Amino acid sequence: MSTLKKVLAQKIDEHRPRTTRLLKEFGEVSLGEVTVSQCIGGARGIKSLVTDISYLDPMEGIRFRGKTIDETFAALPKVPGSEYPYVEGFWYMLLTGDVPTMEQTLEVVADWKRRSQVPEYVYDVLRAMPRDSHPMTMFSTAVLTMQRDSVFSKNYAAGKFNKMTCWEDMYEDASNMMAKLGPIGAYIYRMKYRGDTPIAADPNLDFGGNFAHMMGVDAPYDDVARMYFIIHSDHESGNVSAHTTHLVASALSDAYYSYSAGLNGLAGPLHGLANEEVLRWTQNFMQQLGGQVPTEEKLKEALWATLNSGQVIPGYGHAVLRKTDPRYTSQREFCLKTPGLKDYPLFQLIKMIYEVAPGVLTEHGKAKNPWPNVDAQSGVIQWYYGVTEYEFYTVLFGIGRALGCLANITWDRALGYGIERPKSVTTPMLEAVAGIK
């Protein structure tokens, strides 16, 4: 058994009595009330999920296993020659809560390599799809296609389901899938946008390095990939992609069914697709100005025109956050310290939007959070390194998001979280509670 799996098994054994005690002795303790607006408005803020993998503070932003993004980057073992850590070491940390040593990290690197061969039938399915299918449709389909290889589903069908050990099958499925997602994403990219010229994996590279290699993009795109996958990994379990994955898994669906569903949620414009929308909006605007960075006045006008036409300003606002998203800040800092990117006109415009949009949104008075989220900044970096196909950006998000979703559903199984079934009410019931005659 790998060190990661052994440590995870220990952590699960230690954690289980806490969950059992809470449920048995304190199951009736109330966490708060549910209001009519929460009921109609997307269950916003209702405390009804448990995860120890990440926590989102409205003012501070995300912490992964108690660590901010900067602390996470500082703590984890780095890829030689890079300032950024191994994605594989981050996976170890998300699953166990421990910062792995270099040796433990390299064990995961080797383990993922063993698991990374994408079955030929996945490519056959992708190649049979219309070439103009959205890359998220392709990506989600590729994940679903691999369901036939699910260890959990095979064992379940063979009557080998055991509540105490079924997390191990989820862990196997999660690891098998995770190792293949970079290669699948890069394959879709090369097939769809680079004249059908897939690049074979380089067995000497880590997950992030190999992704950059298979995309055919030179350094420092390997660092961009490592940073990108880590910062997009997890944002508590209530966001659409994580919650969908958790919900589907709660029916004992396997990791493939569950994450494919999560990806379909990520593909929505109010969620992961926003990174595509930000760049489209920004570039259309720049094009109207003949490729020039606008004046602040012109930018204000454009932002108001967007709001007045009933559209949202993509990349701004958040359901939980009430300040600038630290995932935005991390990417901004990458741009500011990277020669070339720092003075890149598109980045200049993104910077200017950051100076102007919060004021416009505040004056508009609707959005509870006028500050940028992760998606406001990510497209410009991709564009700069030649990944100019907006549509593909959500696939990158989806590779990163898998880390959080899959770590979460492994723990869901370990702790035996129940099948989800919130209760619905009818409109007359709400009216009655509200005292409407």
Query: Annotated catalytic, 246?
Result: no
**403-406-408-410 Cα dihedral, nearest 10 degrees:** -130
Query: Annotated catalytic, 375?
Result: yes
Q: How big is the site for ligand HAX, counted in residues (CB under 6 A)?
A: 22
Residue of 318, 325, 364, 412 marked active site: 318
Question: Nearest Cα to 245, choosing from 233, 229, 231, 256?
Answer: 256
Query: Annotated catalytic, 271?
Result: yes
Under the criterion CB under 6 A, does residue 303 sit at the interface with ligand HAX? no
Least separation in angstroms between CB 401 and ligand HAX: 8
Contact between residue 403 and residue 178 where contact means Cβ atoms under 8 Å apart = yes
Least separation in angstroms between CB 303 and ligand HAX: 9
Using CB under 6 A as the binding rule, the residues of this chain from 337 to 366 that contact ligand HAX are 366
Q: Around Cβ 192, how many Cβ atoms within 10 Å? A: 20
Residue whose pair of structure tokens reads 């509200």 in the numeric block: 434
Q: 7 — phi, psi (to 5°)?
A: -65, -40
Which of 191/367 has CB closer to ligand HAX? 367
Using CB under 6 A as the binding rule, the residues of this chain from 311 to 330 that contact ligand HAX are 312-319
Which neighbouring-strand residues pair with 192?
none
Using CB under 6 A as the binding rule, the residues of this chain from 371 to 430 that contact ligand HAX are 373-375
Using CB under 6 A as the binding rule, the residues of this chain from 7 to 46 that contact ligand HAX are 44
Cβ partners under 8 Å of residue 283, min gap 6: 346
Residue whose pair of structure tokens reads 């209702």 in the numeric block: 46
Which of 172/276 has CB closer to ligand HAX? 276
Under the criterion CB under 6 A, does residue 271 sit at the interface with ligand HAX? yes
Name which position in 179, 274, 302, 396 contacts ligand HAX (CB under 6 A).
274
Tokens read off for 25: 């002795």
Q: Which window, 56-64, 198-206, 307-315, 428-436, contacts ligand HAX (CB under 6 A)?
A: 307-315
Name which position in 39, 270, 341, 352 contacts ligand HAX (CB under 6 A).
270
Q: 343-348 contacts: CB < 8 A, separation 24 or more?
A: 344/380, 344/384, 345/286, 345/291, 345/292, 345/293, 346/282, 346/283, 346/286, 346/380, 346/383, 346/384, 347/380, 347/384, 348/293
Under the criterion CB under 6 A, does residue 62 sit at the interface with ligand HAX? no
Under the criterion CB under 6 A, does residue 239 sit at the interface with ligand HAX? yes
Name which position in 369, 377, 378, 382 contacts ligand HAX (CB under 6 A).
369
Number of helices (H), then strands (E), in the chain: 20, 2
Residues that bind ligand HAX (CB under 6 A): 44, 239, 270-272, 274, 307, 312-319, 366-369, 373-375
Which residues participate in catalysis according to the annotation? 271, 318, 375
